[in-house]
Amino acid sequence: MNKSERRFPVDLVLELRNAKSKISISKDLLPYHWKKNPGRQSGLPHSRKWENTQITFNSDKKIFLNHSLDSLFFPPGQEYEFKIPPGQYEFSTLVGLLGGTEFQSQVSGILKLNSGGKVLKEWNLVGTMKESWISKQEVLEIGESGSLQLVWESKDSYLFVGEPLLYSKDTLESFSSSGKPKSVILIVIDSARKDFFGSYGYPYSVTPVMDQMAKESVFFENPFANGNWTKPSMMSFFHSEYSSNLGLGNSWFSTKPYQRKVYYGKNRDNLAKTFREAGYFSKTIMNNVFFLDYTTVGLDLGFHNSFQVGMDIVDTEVLTNHAIQFVNESKDKPYFLHFNLNTPHASYSPPPEDMAAVRSVVPTEVFYRYESPVQRYLGEMHYTDREIGRLVEALKKQGTYDETMIIVTGDHGELFSAHHDYSYHFIMQTRFGHGETHYDEEINVPYFIKLPKSIQESLGSDLAKKADGGQIRIPGQSSLLSLAPTILGFLNLLPKESSYRGADYSTCIRKADVCPKESFIYTEGRMSESVRTENYKYIRRYPGFTTVRRTAAGEPHTMAEELYDLKKDPEEKNNLSPLPEGERLLQIARADFRRENFLRRNHLRILIPPCSEAVCRDFLSLNVQGSIYDWEVSDSIQLSSGSAKTISLQKESKAARSPNLGEEVVFKTVNPELGAFFSFSRNGKTIPVRFGRYGLEYQRSITNLEDLIVSEREPEGFPSSALPWVYNDGAFSGTRESEVQREMGKEVKKILETWGYIHE
């Protein structure tokens, strides 16, 4: 909706920081129930952070249904008082109870809603079933006092008031008078290859529903994911930022504590958060644990409501049914729905009727050219399309389809080609899968946006006029990094000075502007990365992760880099990186990669002091916690690496004729861990090393350097030091000091000098 059309419900979770609470809750009062996380969205101080929890109930154990709501937490006797503008409101929420102990059989209590000393409503929850959500909706009259009190009366039961929203009467009436709200549905299809869609050129009608929608949409002709598996890809397009730059990395499913610290420690914009703050109800319906914080892999993005089914195969119909129920119940209020189907992800198990449908449209001679997994993948694609068709039909039946923005995309593709069978076979133990390579078939995904009709009719660009109400085509390569800023741009919802990094294509579609050009598309994989231009694809594996399973001839080998000329070799069959004819293009690709500097990293900075003897033969050994990503060294230095975390450096130099500065060597680390093990010898003799901001000297290397090694800026005296000096600049993970801390640091240095720890 346009800025003039925005209508904000009162979101009590977001209002909690300004509310009065009878009991401040700084710790987990229900440690036995691990499906929760504290205060991620409410901005509460640490002393109150558990008053807001994203609490998850495992409400259907047959399908592993984890249903999470952003909630107000009420231990027995808790009261909250909010300041609300006077008026009439529709108050809607889902409430649920837990006992004080895991095996408490009975839970009960009364929740009173008061305003100005008057009881507006009592909800008697005696006899309520534990760990289940109960829908509540009431019309409340907030008096002149502007006070709303929620009082929980119970002896031994703990209440969660989920997604507590108040819509004013004026807001609801304005919706009915001005037409349906412009709600948004983001449909993400796991493992969706672009080339099996009719809209992208597949000659047989396997995806008729989505192909028809594509004809009405802003259509990106050649889009790419910024991750080759789900976690880095989805995190990147929800935040319009690369997963590693969010602190989350790309190597494995788990999210480590230090990664959470980096992620939650910075103010991140994401789609769920932006829509919520703009007054939209935000919901995700998915089979995807990466958006649940209580798991060891996920994060809390700020959805009001997260409905996650953990059972494969049966999940698709359950998710679609819930999505249809949701859009029917929510048709009169603006919402943002993330609808994530795990088909056509392996194990490729489509219903028989969908395999029969595929057989009826794909000629027999074509069908049997495919290997069995690919045949079943086609069935999964048809099944996915049929389920999306049920949701589309529900929108049309209720009359909201025309004004609903619908985005269709995939989080990554799927590897099928035999000539690309060079992977680790890490997850699927077969080449049919994803996450191990960076070929186009694994990262080239569908991406189109069906605009609300009222927005479509208001477009004034040449692109839109040429389309004449039909498909608006965006030529050239693009990436999903553009997804968030583009859809928010169409709705005038882009936050000022947002952290969204991608291109906003809405600008050239709404007005007669030149469309953005994504000259370099960067994609992350498991300890690997790629850069794609219109001319070449450059793939790089991190040091220590260069061994791939086999060559085309079946031999194990290493492959640190790959390079493909996309103009001459669009199927990426001929790796130019080791060949003489590829040398010039390889130098261009390496230079482009380093110049664009896609990922922000911590830098381990090491000073090698100038030579003071006739000849200096230096040897440096380094072991880092965070694995080695890249380095910056001069040609005079020889490097060798035995693993992802170790590296050795050798340098031979002669005595300088005049005093000069030492040489700085920079190692970038994969993860934001700070520690390192470091040793340095010159002409066979181990010499002292200085560490961190103060240059503390140690005669031999030590292992626990996290607190000593960090300095947010170059330490005083670093370039001219006569001893080796090493520090981690913490540039990515963040080690910012206040002015007071900086001044104190100077005093600390003086004290350390007088104690003899620092020798100038």
Per-residue pLDDT tens for 266-306? Answer: 888 999 999 999 999 999 999 988 888 888 888 999 999 99
Section 129-143 average pLDDT? 95
pLDDT band at 6 (very low <50, low <70, confident <90, very high): very low
Residues 357 and 383: their CA atoms lie apart, in Å, by 9
C-alpha angle 6/12/14, rounded to 5°?
A: 70
Closest CA to 339 of 268, 276, 288: 288
- 604 has pLDDT over 60: yes
Type of residue numbered 265: G
Per-residue pLDDT tens for 354-386? Answer: 999 999 999 999 999 999 999 999 999 999 999
Q: Is residue 303 within 8 Å of residue 70, measured between CB atoms?
A: yes
- 737 has pLDDT over 80: no
Placement of tokens 């009467």 in the chain = 169
Q: Tell me: domain 10-173, CATH 2.60.120, correct? A: yes
How confident is the model at residue 491, as a pLDDT?
A: 94
Average pLDDT over the chain reads 89
Domain locations along the chain = 10-173, 180-215+225-402+412-443+494-513, 524-596, 603-728
Closest CA to 237 of 476, 408, 440, 56: 408
pLDDT band at 503 (very low <50, low <70, confident <90, very high): very high
3-state secondary structure of 639: strand
Terminal CA-CA length for the chain: 64
Which CATH fold topology does 180-215+225-402+412-443+494-513 show? Alkaline Phosphatase, subunit A (3.40.720)
Question: Token pair for residue 599?
Answer: 């990922």
Residues 264 and 629: their CA atoms lie apart, in Å, by 23
Burial class (CB in 10 A: 0-12, 13-18, 19+), 112: middle
Q: Look up the CATH architecture of domain 524-596.
A: 2-Layer Sandwich (3.30)
Backbone angles phi, psi at 373, to 5 degrees: -60, -35
Closest CA to 237 of 521, 475, 537: 521
How confident is the model at residue 559, as a pLDDT?
A: 85
Q: Distance of CA 186 to CAs 176, 318, 323, 409, 447, Å?
A: 24, 18, 12, 8, 11
Closest CA to 72 of 94, 88, 90: 94
pLDDT band at 674 (very low <50, low <70, confident <90, very high): confident
DSSP code for 198: G
Q: Which of 117-126, 283-292, 394-403, 696-705 has the lowest mean pLDDT?
A: 696-705
Q: Who has greater pLDDT, 422 or 144?
A: 144
Backbone angles phi, psi at 207, to 5 degrees: -125, 65
Burial class (CB in 10 A: 0-12, 13-18, 19+), 620: buried
* CB-facing half-sphere around the CA of 163: CA atoms within 13 A: 25
Buried b (16+ CB within 10 A) or exposed e, 39-59: bbbbebeeebbbbbbbbbbee
Q: Is residue 291 within 8 Å of residue 306, measured between CB atoms?
A: yes
C-alpha angle 67/73/76, rounded to 5°?
A: 125
How confident is the model at residue 118, as a pLDDT?
A: 93
Rounded to 10°, the helix 230-239/483-490 angle is 30
How confident is the model at residue 584, as a pLDDT?
A: 97
3-state secondary structure of 319: helix
3-state secondary structure of 484: helix
Closest CA to 724 of 670, 688, 683: 688
User: Within a 10 A sphere around the Cβ of 173, how many other Cβ atoms?
Assistant: 10
- 311 has pLDDT over 80: yes
Q: Is residue 577 within 8 Å of residue 583, measured between CB atoms?
A: no
How confident is the model at residue 678, as a pLDDT?
A: 83
- 707 has pLDDT over 50: yes
pLDDT band at 172 (very low <50, low <70, confident <90, very high): confident
Question: Token pair for residue 496?
Answer: 């000022």
Section 581-588 average pLDDT? 97
Q: Distance of CA 488 to CAs 222, 458, 537, Å?
A: 21, 16, 30
How confident is the model at residue 4, as a pLDDT?
A: 34
Full DSSP string of 218-253: EEEEEEE-SBSSHHHHHHHHHHTS-GGGGT--SS-S
Residues 623 and 679: their CA atoms lie apart, in Å, by 9
Question: Token pair for residue 615?
Answer: 């000849």
Placement of tokens 């935000």 in the chain = 282
- 57 has pLDDT over 60: yes
Q: Is residue 533 within 8 Å of residue 520, measured between CB atoms?
A: yes
How confident is the model at residue 1, as a pLDDT?
A: 35
Section 83-109 average pLDDT? 95
Question: Token pair for residue 561?
Answer: 């880099």
How confident is the model at residue 573, as a pLDDT?
A: 94
Section 410-421 average pLDDT? 88
Residues 744 and 751: their CA atoms lie apart, in Å, by 11
Backbone angles phi, psi at 227, to 5 degrees: -150, 145
Full DSSP string of 498-567: ----S--THHHHHSS-PPP----EEEEETTEEEEE-SSEEEEEEPTT--EES--TTS--EE-SEEEEETT
Q: Who has greater pLDDT, 413 or 558?
A: 413
Residues 197 and 223: their CA atoms lie apart, in Å, by 13
Section 11-29 average pLDDT? 96
How confident is the model at residue 310, as a pLDDT?
A: 87
Give the pTM: 0.93
Q: Which residues make Cβ contacts (< 8 Å) with residue 557, sequence separation at least 6?
A: 547, 548, 550, 551
How confident is the model at residue 123, as a pLDDT?
A: 97
- 753 has pLDDT over 80: no
